[in-house]
Structure 1
């Protein structure tokens, strides 16, 4: 694990790298590892840090079928609210326009106050726990993108953004802004995509 800076210049503990993960797997299994993906690296890192439970029990308690994606009209309602706060600074623990936001506070406020989905204040991990897990290929605007180990935490999920399509998210970096999830930084910290159950917006 190494210290680095994120795209906003903040110091972070970086995700363990490909070579480190491969070396650890080879040491444990005695086998060479080829053609491993970055997502598999991230899953390995979660297991190495949080134990085997994280491979199958990472806190997610959603048991229903995968909901349908939000309609264009519902996504537009969500973005009408969320884009009001572009440029607001990141404030740890912030959860409203009067305090500004942190990443989960921004998401909870945007979904709830747009009328799309009632999402009481919780952490990025708490939001992830309520979502149906979906693949990147199946992600649609209005879904959520989750990241891991963007700071030191006892939980796998540490950052969240609203997926807006075309590999872009709107998230509370510093400040709130759009960002590509395919940059070296965000792709190396990618954890999962998720979809909230259909709320009042549908």
Structure 2
């Protein structure tokens, strides 16, 4: 990826401006036998959101939904949904440890982060909306791009696409501590580089959750859906 590419803003704007849904395939694994162990499918979308009012901050609402499969036992047929806020903000918003003393991060011109969402108060007849509650993690873009599964820097490869499309892989990671539970997340974006901008063609995320009563591995694969 050329040095002229600003990763945080390009990834955010490509996802936020894409009207089509993503096909979501989630694989759930855990060392706790009472947790779900199955593959579930659904859809995910990004919807533009008004700015928060703070200078330089843009937000988009990530929303996913689907239905539990028969493999989920008595949960089969149960619909699930979840929302997060993806936020693009000035670089000063970055909180990860690798931020340099000069306030800059490799490959980033702005800070990209994922936030837990909470409902906003609305009047009767007004569509329910959400707003950022508290931060889940910052995305720290890292070196070591590779298509090879199993690379020490690629815990999960981005989904493959049809041959003939020249693509690159952009990697990022994040971390969230929730009392005694440690959430480590990796992202892998398969992108097409077009001059001074990039387009996300497919992507993946992986959450590894460890704690006194948790040892979960959650892999999400996002491939293009219909318009």
Greater relative contact order structure (CA < 8 Å, 6+ sep) = 1
- What TM-score, normalized by structure 2, do the two folds share? 0.23
Rg larger in structure: 2
Structure with more of its chain in helix, by fraction: 1
- What TM-score, normalized by structure 1, do the two folds share? 0.25
